[in-house]
Structure 1
Amino acid sequence: YFSIKSCSCFLGSRSSGDLKYHFKQENKTWFEARDACRENYTDLVRITSQQELWNITSITEGKKVWIGLYQNPLQWSNGDESSFQYWDTNEPNNIANDVCVGMYLKNLSDKGDGHPSEVGKWSDFRCNTNHYYFLCYKEKFFLVKENKSWFDAVKYCQEHYTDLVSVTSP
């Protein structure tokens, strides 16, 4: 047996495919943001396509936001490699050991280095010294990889998530 959880919607979130994105208006370091996302959702957002990027930028506001990408080597916080990239001009620059990645949420005439920035472009920043808003994602369904009876699966889901998935059409 397996159990699957679903997630509920609330303000500051948007669904796309099998994921729900959550924009958090709290200033945190990259590691604090990652930990908050993992505690309350699935992880910091990972962006795998141009369409996904535009879906995400439409629910956010502010100047910069942390995303789940970091370098060393370049990968997402869940361990996946990054095939889609949307770096800003002269990025990544690795100045002062910048290894965590943030995304610009508005066009800036000068992002602080004499260069403008566009919505959605990525830049590397110092993980522990910069405090930005952040984006989390949550998978709509969660597979529990444990054998359980139906009753135990229902109890487990209700204690940890919401309920077993309901399949209403073939």
Structure 2
Amino acid sequence: SSCSRFPLRQYHYVDSVQSWNEARQSCRENFTDLATFESMDDVNRLQPPFKKTQAWIGLWDDPNDWQTSMGNQSNSWRWSATGETSKTGFKSWYSPNPDFYRGGETCVIIRNKGVWGDIDCASSLGFLCFNGKKRFEVADTP
């Protein structure tokens, strides 16, 4: 058998409508971060109730920040958990996205079938977090 370079992630759908920033904060407090996907295998591991909805994931863009250092032609979409682009080059954009409509769509949702769309970060949606370990840890007591 072969070992993957990337750890398998456990995904958790949170059915609480929040902005992207609120969702990221909630994921960081209760899990690890908003969901990161490095392959279609990651997307295929999503379980219901997500299958019937759309949700925030950890992909976002700050064109003002990245254009200065990278130029307009570079990929400026970053994962919240790492601050980096995809390590595998995996993308699942729903055409014509990303379109940065009216200069305000800098956060990303995943829709059923695993396609991504950019929308305004202030929109209120449910969200996907990964690795739920923090919420269930119990500190050792002497």
> TM-score, structure 1 length as denominator?
0.61
Q: Percent identity?
A: 30
Is the radius of gyration larger for structure 1 or structure 2?
A: 1
Indicate the structure with greater helix content: 2
Q: Which residue of 2 aligns with 1:75?
A: 78
**In 2: Cα distance, 1:139 partner to 1:27 partner:** 19
Alignment pair present for 1:89 and 2:118: no
1:98 maps to amino acid:
E
Using a 3 Å threshold, how does the CA distance of structure 1 residues 42 and 133 change in structure 2: closer, same or farther?
same
Q: Which residue of 2 aligns with 1:125?
A: 119
Q: Which residue of 2 aligns with 1:11?
A: none
Shift of 1:80: 2.6
Show CA shifts across 1:86-105 (max 9, x none).
00010001002200000112
Contact 1:57 1:120 in 2 (8 A): no
Shift of 1:139: 6.5
**In 2: Cα distance, 1:62 partner to 1:18 partner:** 23
Q: Which residue of 1 aligns with 2:111?
A: 104
Alignment of 1:21-36 (within 5 A): 21-36=11-26
Aligned mate of 1:162, from 122, 135, 138? 138
List 4+ stretches of structure 1 deviating above 3 A: none
| Count of aligned positions | 116
Contact 1:30 1:100 in 2 (8 A): yes
Contact 2:58 2:80 in 1 (8 A): yes
**In 2: Cα distance, 1:57 partner to 1:87 partner:** 20
Contact 2:57 2:109 in 1 (8 A): yes
Shift of 1:71: 1.5
Contact 2:97 2:117 in 1 (8 A): yes
Shift of 1:132: 0.9
**In 2: Cα distance, 1:131 partner to 1:64 partner:** 11
Structure 2: unaligned runs, 5 residues or longer: 1-6, 63-75
**In 2: Cα distance, 1:121 partner to 1:57 partner:** 15
Aligned-residue CA RMSD (Å): 2.2
Contact 2:9 2:42 in 1 (8 A): no
1:121 maps to amino acid:
V
Contact 2:8 2:42 in 1 (8 A): no
Shift of 1:63: 2.9
